Amino acid sequence: MEETNYISVFCKIREGKVNLNHSIIYTEEQKEADPGMFFKSVYKHFQFNYPKFYKMDKLSQLAFIASELLLKDNKVTEKYNKEDIAIVISNRSSSLESDTEHQKTISDTENNIPSPAVFVYTLPNILVGEIAIRNLIKGENSFFIFDKFDAQFTSTYINSLLNSGKANCVIAGWVDYYEGNYDAFLYTAERTPGVIGAEHTAEQLNNLYK
C-alpha cells in the first residue's frame, strides 16, 4: 500500500527574499553586489548565535541560514531520534565557487597558498555536514547534482526512505551558489502533514519550489 508523506514546512531564499512557508519573513534592504552580505544580514537579523557561520563558504552559509529557519519552525530534532532524520540535498554547481577559490592558490602561488579552510569546502556535501553538526543529526546523508531542481527524483527517493523506515523525517531540497547567483529551497518531509500539509509529490514540490 502506498503511504502518504507530506511536505510539512519549507524555507526558500532567493532574490533577496526569505520565505518561510508562504510568508516573506525578511527582505534585503538594498541589493548587495555580494550575496554573502545578504546571508550575513539574515544571520544577524534572526540572531543565530553560531560563530562557525563566519568560517563557512557562501554555499554552506546559505544552507545554514535556510536550515536554521526551517528547523526553528519545525523542531524535528525534538520529535524524532537523531539517527532517524536524513538529509538529502542537491544542487547545480556543486562546490565550484570554492573550487575556483582553491584553484587560485595553485595558479597564483605568489599571492596564495592552498588553505585547508578553503579546500574542505571543495565538496558540496560539506553543507550537509554543517547542518548535521549544528543539529546533531545522524541519519542518512546524500548529495546529488542536477542541472535544475529535480522534483521527480527528489520525491521518489525521499518517499522510498520514509516508506522503508530508513528515515522518519527528511531534511531535503536544493541549495545552490555560484558566481553570485544563489537559490535555496529546503523543506521537511514527514509522515504527518505539518503546517503546509502538501502531499510529498513531484507536482507539489514543483509548485512550492517555483
Partner 1 sequence: MKKNAYIIADNIISPLGFTSVENFDKLKSMQTGVKRWETSALSSEPVCAAVIESKQLFAEFSKLKLDKTFTRLEQLLILSISDTLKQNPSVDIKSPKTLIVLSTTKGNIDLLSEEEKGKFDKNRLFLWETGNIIASHFNNPNQTIIVSNACISGVLAIILGKRLLEEDTYDTIIVSGADLMTHFVVSGFQSFKAVSNEVCKPYDVSRDGISLGEACGTVVLTNNEKLISGSEKILVKSGSSSNDANHISGPSRTGDGLILAIEKTLQEASLKSSDIDYISGHGTATLYNDEMESQAITGTGLQNVPMNSLKSYFGHTLGAAGIVESIIGIHSMKNNTLIGTYNYKEPGVTKPLNIIKETKTARVNNCLKTAAGFGGCNAAVLFIKE
If you search the block for the grid coordinates 544552507, which residue do you land on? 63
Q: Taking CB under 8 A as the rule, does residue 142 contact partner 1?
A: yes
83 belongs to the binding site for partner 1 (CB under 8 A): yes
What is the C-alpha to C-alpha distance for residues 154 and 201, in angstroms, rounded to an integer? Answer: 9
Does 138 contact partner 1 by CB under 8 A? yes
Residue closer to partner 1 (CB basis): 42 or 86: 86
**Binding partner 1 by CB under 8 A: which of 50, 153, 180, 192?**
153
Q: Are residues 70 and 10 in contact, defined by beta-carbon separation less than 8 angstroms?
A: yes
User: Least Å distance between CB 18 and partner 1?
Assistant: 25
Amino acid (one-letter) located at 46: F
Residues 78, 68 contacting (CB under 8 angstroms): no
Residue 88's nearest CA partner among 163, 172, 168, 162 is 172
Distance CA 91, CA 177 (A): 8
Q: Give the separation between CA 18 and CA 25, rounded to whole angstroms.
A: 6
In the complex with partner 1, the residue whose CB is nearer, 80 or 144, is 144
Residue 144 binds to partner 1 (criterion: CB under 8 A): yes
**Segments in 35-95 forming alpha helices (H):** 35-45, 58-73, 76-79
Pick from 128, 171, 175, 205 the residue near partner 1 by CB under 8 A. 128
Alpha helices (H) along the chain: 35-45, 58-73, 76-79, 96-107, 116-119, 126-135, 151-163, 202-209
> Is 205 one of the binding residues for partner 1 (CB under 8 A)?
no
CB 156 within 8 A of CB 144: no
Least distance (Å) between residue 1 CB and partner 1? 13
- 19, 122, 155, 201: which one binds partner 1 (CB under 8 A): 122
Q: Site residues for partner 1, window 157-196 (CB under 8 A)?
A: 157, 160, 164, 166
Site string for partner 1, 18-57 (x = CB under 8 A): ----------------------------------------
Q: Which residues bind partner 1 (CB under 8 A)?
A: 82-83, 87, 92-94, 96, 99-100, 102-103, 105-107, 109, 113-116, 119-120, 122-126, 128-130, 132-133, 135-147, 150, 153, 156-157, 160, 164, 166
